Structure 1
């Protein structure tokens, strides 16, 4: 088994965890005395891994006894009792040894239902302690636990409830950050915690998918701190996750990234059952990797296709032998300063397609795109540049003419919106230009045929990394008629190559299918939807 998985090195190596004032020890002893109705022993389940977590959070202190750890990022696969750990930490700060009079504590989630998870766990523990009944009040209808004598309260809040801004918080739990669609609650919680000296923020989440949610950057930061790439003593990442390249079928890996498996949760037989489903079903495999092995899925949360299936078309292609074969071009033009793409498409003779992309970017934009790997792609020959800070259409048109001169081009699809210079240049050269509208009538069938080819293993792309990145960034959105359209989560996540590929594929498909949807308003869409 490879050992690239993310796992805190200190979690079970027996190394000492700083506890100069004994705060970590007192937190552990306090939790050991707590009752828990759902536990077989009747006591809170403080296994060795959980104990080490609590010690690492509460033990380290500055000489003035203020806490060193101000934020905890707890990234655990589903079924490893994040909720119990989170509820325990909340009670430590509401009525335990970390309690401060007049405190306001919250557990926050994207929905009311999710926000109640930690609250209900905490309320259950409180209800089991008879001696607490005269001190703590559970206001279930308000999702709150109150400590009147100390003027403290703990409540569950959600992004769909509103009213989060303005809070002053001594403790905050943010549950399943990857599911938060809006940054407003997250920012309200962070700023609310910052107002209080010695406060603690805990993020407890399973891995998410894509880059279009607010958890992605925090997850990346937590991974960098855990690996030692960034030093931040106030930030404690506790992430158990599979990494790319690990064998997801290996049960030893399951145990490594699911610390609860050694203690019976999640059930091993359930893991095996889900893994068996994942062998043949791409959707089940994505779910297994994300939720059971905590692997952040790099494609969008609403992906176009399984990237593992897409990668089946990565074998090397001899493009020289295709030069004399009929091909069709799709062109996605940039908005002056951004990426422009040409994709050539050939039919493979078996109902599938072979594509080759060319990507262009203004030279001066490279320094602003380092995170996307543009410079690396340029050096490797996958990206061409034009002079200046904006796309130089004269240079691009010359390059386009060169490509057309090398290939047997049957038709060139160009979005007519804002494309007059390119359309004129192509028509002046006598090239077979076609105005390919981006309206649903043309793009929905194009996207469907592209999807069909990829899923059927009939889309060969040679593994071009820029094109793959574009496909990985696609987020699909339904039209009012139930068809799919491409969208992107963030402006930096380009999908130009995928759009151009869809256009080129559609033109190639149309060459054998008269009565195109683009030309015929009465075209039967169902022929595309049932393929």
Structure 2
């Protein structure tokens, strides 16, 4: 069955309402619900256009505003809501914004901010808030010449042309796009982060960090993240959702974070309507449209691309990054159990090197045999140190963070320093009993010659169909069989997740980049290393023996 996680803060006091298990010692949860019920929504079908606060949304509101510390301050400071499309999460966040702009949570001079992927999406959030300013006040579009639409009863000023609303008491709400430079340098008491999975135009971690840092300067601030499932794991949205999952499961103790996660497990039957109802809390109330979901499911039966879209946006099944993946990443992740690399010191090993030009990664991968039919691999990644943050922005991954954590080594300059790469190769040959060092000869002639002259077993392994297809086939077999251990190295995983597999008429598979910005260098090197380990290349000779085999004679 689908999994819906929700952390229940440990507070002893209990209130008396429709949700008696939700602590509300000061009645703030109840007053928040009462205020939202007093709102009117232009599209509501209820009498008088009353705001439709359905039970699942009411429960969230009560969990946010009910539980309190002994000093009366709110326990929850961050809410992570993962819910499929069509469940009116934008309407819910608009109501929360109204709570802080005109309702009982308002604070003199407060800054309220919502951030969406682009200007169009930001405008949608803004219109939801503007439409609830007053039941008798119809939202007015841009009146021209910077004119302001004013609610005479409440004094709220709606500035459509800049997506800003000024509430009484100097409270300002502004809707921003994730690529807006003005999103930084603020001290918001409320942040609505909408569809974080789509924040791609800027480095989202930089924006997220700046917004959170500003909110931390304000007492009792609140951040609400609402999103549908994304793709890949090397992104801000996955980091946020994964943290919320760990809080929900009790792996991390953080009462200040409220996880509300409606998602189906990867192995769930996506055609089962019971799954749809469990993951979409609004279905029982008529949204999203059930017949519309049924039609999409019928099309998805025969269109794999449509199936992935249905699973992601309507069941919140987090997707792999590539549209034509080499392997199911949930299967790949079974090899993520950590291991101690020192256990393989002085053991037979096979190295593979993928050298880069310009902005690509350079990678060395070592492969060890693990029993009769398994492999253990470990990578070393290199990238240019210059403009590291710009490269992170371009590729959408945290190069600086990976560098700080030792998963990637930046070398001085704007290209990878091959001298440093060669130095690491020599060190590895001293540490392990290296049988072969496989290179794609492109860009590698000088390094191969240097190593061969000193007796290291450098060989050519061209990255064409003839050489790579058998290596990739063996790699695939090992991963599917659960015989491929990689220790969960995040950069290597990102490379595997980027692979767009191509198959020829004979069934041979080769690796390709899904997009121009994707990097697959580590995956290519892993296939090369596993292929040579499987072939047992170089077992007759090693660098520790007196006679080395010339590199130009060892061509696979």
- Return the TM-score normalized by structure 1: 0.68
Q: Are residues 204 and 231 of structure 1, via their aligned partners in 2, closer, same or farther at CA, if it must alter by over 3 Å? A: same
Following superposition, the deviation at residue 243 of structure 1 comes to 2.0
Following superposition, the deviation at residue 56 of structure 1 comes to 0.6
1:102 is aligned to 109
1:177 is aligned to 196
Gaps in structure 2 of 5+ consecutive residues: 10-16, 139-149, 335-349, 381-403, 408-423, 501-510, 532-556
**Does 2:127 correspond to 1:120?**
yes
2:352 is aligned to 331
2:524 is aligned to 498
Q: Is the 8 A contact 2:233 2:494 kept in 1?
A: no
Structure 1 SS opposite 2:296: helix
Following superposition, the deviation at residue 19 of structure 1 comes to 0.7
Following superposition, the deviation at residue 430 of structure 1 comes to 12
Q: Is the 8 A contact 1:107 1:155 kept in 2?
A: yes
Q: Are residues 305 and 477 of structure 1, via their aligned partners in 2, closer, same or farther at CA, if it must alter by over 3 Å? A: closer
Structure 2 SS opposite 1:400: strand
Q: Is the 8 A contact 2:84 2:313 kept in 1?
A: yes
Q: Using the alignment, how far apart are the partners of 1:49 and 1:168 within structure 2?
A: 30
Q: Is the 8 A contact 2:513 2:520 kept in 1?
A: no
Q: Is the 8 A contact 1:19 1:59 kept in 2?
A: yes
Q: Are residues 63 and 310 of structure 1, via their aligned partners in 2, closer, same or farther at CA, if it must alter by over 3 Å? A: closer
Q: Using the alignment, how far apart are the partners of 1:191 and 1:311 within structure 2?
A: 37
Q: Are residues 216 and 292 of structure 1, via their aligned partners in 2, closer, same or farther at CA, if it must alter by over 3 Å? A: same
Q: Using the alignment, how far apart are the partners of 2:22 and 2:330 within structure 1?
A: 46
* Pairing partner for 1:434 from 437, 460, 466: 460
1:39-75 per-position Cα deviation (integer Å, ceiling 9, x unaligned): 2112211111111111111111123321111111111
1:33 is aligned to 38
* Pairing partner for 2:82 from 64, 70, 75: 75
Q: Using the alignment, how far apart are the partners of 2:118 and 2:253 within structure 1?
A: 33
Structure 2 SS opposite 1:265: coil
1:162 is aligned to 181
Q: Using the alignment, how far apart are the partners of 1:337 and 1:309 within structure 2?
A: 23
Q: Is the 8 A contact 2:378 2:486 kept in 1?
A: no
Q: Using the alignment, how far apart are the partners of 1:235 and 1:497 within structure 2?
A: 36
Q: Is the 8 A contact 1:361 1:391 kept in 2?
A: no
Instruction: Tell me the number of residue pairs that the alignment of Structure 1 and Structure 2 aligns.
Output: 427
Q: Are residues 473 and 256 of structure 1, via their aligned partners in 2, closer, same or farther at CA, if it must alter by over 3 Å? A: farther
Q: Is the 8 A contact 1:282 1:306 kept in 2?
A: no
Structure 1 SS opposite 2:308: helix
Q: Are residues 273 and 280 of structure 1, via their aligned partners in 2, closer, same or farther at CA, if it must alter by over 3 Å? A: same
1:139 is aligned to 159
1:294-332 per-position Cα deviation (integer Å, ceiling 9, x unaligned): 1222x32x55526459979x9xxxxxxxxxxxxxx9933
Q: Using the alignment, how far apart are the partners of 2:329 and 2:75 within structure 1?
A: 46
Q: Is the 8 A contact 2:325 2:498 kept in 1?
A: no
Q: Using the alignment, how far apart are the partners of 1:279 and 1:15 within structure 2?
A: 43
Q: Using the alignment, how far apart are the partners of 2:274 and 2:329 within structure 1?
A: 26
Q: Are residues 276 and 13 of structure 1, via their aligned partners in 2, closer, same or farther at CA, if it must alter by over 3 Å? A: farther
Q: Using the alignment, how far apart are the partners of 1:433 and 1:84 within structure 2?
A: 61
Q: Using the alignment, how far apart are the partners of 2:323 and 2:429 within structure 1?
A: 32
Q: Is the 8 A contact 2:363 2:525 kept in 1?
A: no
Q: Is the 8 A contact 2:351 2:364 kept in 1?
A: no
Q: Using the alignment, how far apart are the partners of 2:245 and 2:425 within structure 1?
A: 34
Q: What root-mean-square deviation, in Å, do the aligned CA atoms of Structure 1 and Structure 2 show?
A: 4.6
Q: Is the 8 A contact 2:365 2:526 kept in 1?
A: no
1:362-392 per-position Cα deviation (integer Å, ceiling 9, x unaligned): 9xxxxx9999xxxxxxxxxxxxxxxx99852
1:282 is aligned to 304
Q: Using the alignment, how far apart are the partners of 1:17 and 1:389 within structure 2?
A: 59
Q: Is the 8 A contact 1:330 1:501 kept in 2?
A: no
1:269 is aligned to 291
Q: Is the 8 A contact 2:441 2:461 kept in 1?
A: yes
1:464-483 per-position Cα deviation (integer Å, ceiling 9, x unaligned): 445898576446599xxxx9
Q: Using the alignment, how far apart are the partners of 1:287 and 1:331 within structure 2?
A: 36
1:319-398 paired onto structure 2 within 5 Å: 331-332=352-353, 339-341=364-366, 359-360=377-378, 392-394=428-430, 398=434
Q: Is the 8 A contact 2:165 2:174 kept in 1?
A: yes
Following superposition, the deviation at residue 31 of structure 1 comes to 1.1
Q: Using the alignment, how far apart are the partners of 1:337 and 1:189 within structure 2?
A: 34
2:243 is aligned to 221
Q: Are residues 434 and 55 of structure 1, via their aligned partners in 2, closer, same or farther at CA, if it must alter by over 3 Å? A: same
1:414-471 per-position Cα deviation (integer Å, ceiling 9, x unaligned): 34546766567679999994364xxxxxx6x769x97xx99xxx97556244589857
Q: Is the 8 A contact 1:304 1:471 kept in 2?
A: no
Q: Using the alignment, how far apart are the partners of 1:60 and 1:430 within structure 2?
A: 66
Q: Using the alignment, how far apart are the partners of 1:497 and 1:37 within structure 2?
A: 52
